[in-house]
Amino acid sequence: MALPDPAIPAADDTPLAWHADSADSAARRLGVDSRHGLSNDEAASRLSRHGLNRLTETPGKPAWRRFAAQLTQPLVLVLIAAGVITGGLGETVDASVIFGVVLINAIIGYWQEAKAEGALAALARGVTTPVTVRRGGHRKQLDASQLVPGDVVMLAAGDRIPADLRLIQQHELHTDDSMLTGESQAVSKAAEPLPADTLLADRVNMAYAGTTVVGGQGAGLVIATGDATETGRIAGLIAAAPDLVTPLTRKMATFSNWLLWAIGGLALLTVAIGLARGGSAFDMFIAAVALAVGAIPEGLPAAVTVTLAIGVARMARRRTIIRHLPAVETLGSTTVICSDKTGTLTENAMTVRVLWCGGEGYAVGGHGYAPDGTIVHDEMPAEISGAVRECLIAGALCNDASLNREGQHWKITGDPTEAALLVAARKGGLDEHTLQALYPRHDVLPFDANRQFMATAHGDNAGGVIYVKGALERLLPRCIDQLGANGQTVPVDGMAIEKAACAYAGQGMRVLLLARRDFNPGQNSALNADAIEKLTLIGLVAMIDPPRKAVIGAIRNCHSAGIRVKMITGDHAVTAQAIARQIGLSAERALTGRELALLDDVALIKVAHEVDVFARVEPEQKLRLVRALQARGEVVAMTGDGVNDAPALKQADIGIAMGLAGTEVAKEAAAMVLTDDNFASIEAAVEEGRGVWDNLVKFITWTLPTNFGEGLVIVAAILFGATLPITPLQILWINMTTAVLLGLPLAFEPIERGIMHRAPRRLDMPVLDAHLIRRIVLVSFLLLAGAFGLFLRELEQGHTLAEARTVAVNVFVMVEMAYLFNCRSLTHSFWKQGLFSNPWIWAGIGSMLALQLLLTYWPPLNAAFQTAPIGWQEWLEIGAFAWLASLIIAIEKYGSNRARST
């Protein structure tokens, strides 16, 4: 009789808790004899029903729609309007330039969006791997995509788990689940059933797609493939996370919409006034076109792109790669950084911190797997002898890991805990290869989850020694004496040992007990658990995945910048709190994933704000935490490196992935990648982000008075019935040349001192505050007074219309040059930035002067732009007015600073 296929449970069935099922019961539910596996025919039938073991890639928008979407943004619409108007005036060259900027912006935006859609593809690649299965009573190798529920998969060290498995047998099986759970240590697996409410990270009888086997062997039943796996569920979370609009794009969209309405309304009002005064419809149309061309800041979208791109280049030099341009500015708005612990705040390298031998503690220095550091006792280098030496020898020999140097980095093979013991031995001057030659291994009793210890026998027929390492609660009762500091045996002091172990465990460290006993190889044919009795305790080893060196300072700087840092990890609460205390986070309370699951959304919003440490957190809970913080109006940056971090990385206002230890999935889901995996680089990135925003505001504050001033000149001419002081073509000349040569150099302004002591910008804060708006209005009216006044003066003195207009054009350019220095800092005098700290400013001014001289004196440009040569007296008048305008602006800036400080 055919066994049932578990594809679709009956309507009254509840979802199977596979980890709570016994191995035999799971096999019956899956309709398979685990000793023989599925038949080929049954496997083919199930494959046709369940489909390939691959993640479904959600189809994205068609390429043409993604490209078209880039052209509907308000800033781009402003540019398109300017291009249409310019083309309508017959100026095909200027129109081509404007549409060229539109095209470049659209291409950049399209490319960035296409890159962002690679997250699901990276997940799909992550589960494609060769796999060994048992089918029809025989072992065979096939591609992981061919797996179906009910397959029996064979596992060995180095394998990547191809699907979600219920383990049915294992022998010293250890897996690295950090990419899914955030757990920093290798997980020892078992096959026995577990309570139904066991959390994902604690389901040791399960193996999940995408994780890896670091040691031992085993076999498991496939319970889920493709989208039904835990990895597939995370893929669904990634796909469901919306593409959030950044603070920059929100503010620029609002600003541009306001600008469009203001320009349109002013143009209509001007036409109405002109017609009411008896002007012709054609003249009023030309005036309206001139007004629109003048008021539209054609260079603004290009300036935003260039400023962000310069920020990207600066960040690359500071070990940060930006994948989406708006992320540069978003960093400057960040109010909360949600950071994973393992590999982000910590080294992701287990490190021995303390040796407890002979009743005394010995501190072990150094970081990570590099064997650099000293062993210290009473603040002096310790003598490596007696119990300390024996402790290091035991840790190095009762060990299956290996440590190798590859270039500038040290790499490990095997369990990170065992690798940490090798590193500690090298710090004490003991090399494991030499020790293995001196004390050849005779036998081994591998670590077992039930025994909770490992033992190795070393020696020859003349005599030998058994070294044991494992859990204190299992090995301490087997110890009959212990080594003193001088290497002599003394009675066991159980209370002192347990007190020391509890103290280290309270600091978030993992504590191992090391012991030994002599044995005669000739009388023991095989090492077994019965031989692990009457031990001599050597000492305790306490280890932890330590914080990165620069993290403490980086978090302190984030706090001074008004940015809260929260740890969200899959690791245990005690470990998380210990690390939090070391790096300067509030560790009074750590909330676990089990506790989070009991909170509704309203309660979670409150807790997310108050608590800084979250432990044993699952992927959906990371997502909930990010959303809870965003619900409070926070701008959230989320760091991470594993697959389990990807949904939260995408949901966050800015996702930050680790470049070295991060999975491809995390990198594709993130907007920013740290090339050195150093949390401290985030601080540098925040500083750059704030500098980018500063420079964008400087450009906007500099460019708008020109546009408003040109509009005011047109409006004044219509109100007074005067000839237009500047033509639409001359306005285009001013706008296009000054935006490139004078405005864009502001993007290269160095970061102002003290920028990291400012509070983050509030989301409701507009691009321009009241002080800057007042300054823009002031400069606009100064341009109106200078250009219109000198234009009328030239006409009164008998100069031609072309000469008068040439003076007006040069007034705009010279005042813009003077105003440019005031915009190098919006709050301080420009010389505080350093007169030559931005050489691009001087290069732009020199180039602009050269162009103005050509516009004024070169006959071809005179003919094209209706200009004419002017004399030195006119230049003196232009220069005097520019100087006066600069003085007035400096006085206004001083007054604004006084007002801000009160």
389 vs 260: CA distance, rounded Å: 78
Which structure tokens are listed for 419? Answer: 């690798």
Q: Computed over its alpha carbons, how large is the radius of gyration of the chain?
A: 36
380 vs 715: CA distance, rounded Å: 82
State the burial class of residue 128 (Cβ atoms within 10 Å of its Cβ: 0-12, 13-18, 19+): middle
**Residue 869 phi/psi, 5° resolution?**
-60, 145
Is residue 616 within 8 A of residue 573, CB to CB? The reply is: yes
CA nearest neighbour of 375 among 399, 358, 394, 356? 356
26 vs 231: CA distance, rounded Å: 21
Q: How many CA atoms lie within 13 A of 154 on its CB side?
A: 13
CA nearest neighbour of 780 among 48, 30, 262? 262
**Residue 96 phi/psi, 5° resolution?**
-65, -40
CA nearest neighbour of 801 among 718, 734, 879, 862? 862
Look at the block and give the residue holding tokens 């991060």.
662
Sequence-separated (6 or more) residues with CB below 8 Å from residue 159: 131, 212, 213
3-state SS assignment for residue 834: coil
C-alpha pair distances (Å), 478 with each of 38, 360, 492, 589: 46, 21, 11, 37
Which DSSP symbol is given to 741? I
Greatest Cα pair distance, the chain, in angstroms, is 123
Active-site choice (21, 151, 340, 400): 340
Is residue 541 within 8 A of residue 354, CB to CB? The reply is: yes
613-615 vs 409-413, strand pairing mode: unpaired
Is residue 211 within 8 A of residue 175, CB to CB? The reply is: yes
Write the single-letter amino acid at 379: E
Please list the residues that pair with 357 across neighbouring strands. Answer: 360, 539
C-alpha pair distances (Å), 33 with each of 15, 38, 900: 22, 7, 78
CA nearest neighbour of 27 among 168, 164, 138? 168
Is residue 485 within 8 A of residue 537, CB to CB? The reply is: no
Look at the block and give the residue holding tokens 């100026």.
91
Which structure tokens are listed for 691? Answer: 């500098």
279 vs 800: CA distance, rounded Å: 23
Helix (H) or strand (E) segment spanning residue 547: none
Write the single-letter amino acid at 3: L
Sequence-separated (6 or more) residues with CB below 8 Å from residue 329: 246, 247, 248, 308, 311, 689, 692, 693, 696
Q: What share of the chain is helix, strand, coil (3-state, %, to 5)?
A: 55, 15, 30
780 vs 819: CA distance, rounded Å: 11
CA nearest neighbour of 645 among 744, 583, 568? 568
784 vs 720: CA distance, rounded Å: 13
683 vs 339: CA distance, rounded Å: 13
Which DSSP symbol is given to 10? -
Is residue 247 within 8 A of residue 329, CB to CB? The reply is: yes
Which structure tokens are listed for 112? Answer: 């960035």
Q: In 20-91, which residue ranges form alpha helices assigned H by DSSP? A: 23-30, 40-50, 63-69, 74-88
571 is catalytic: no
Just list the catalytic residues. 340
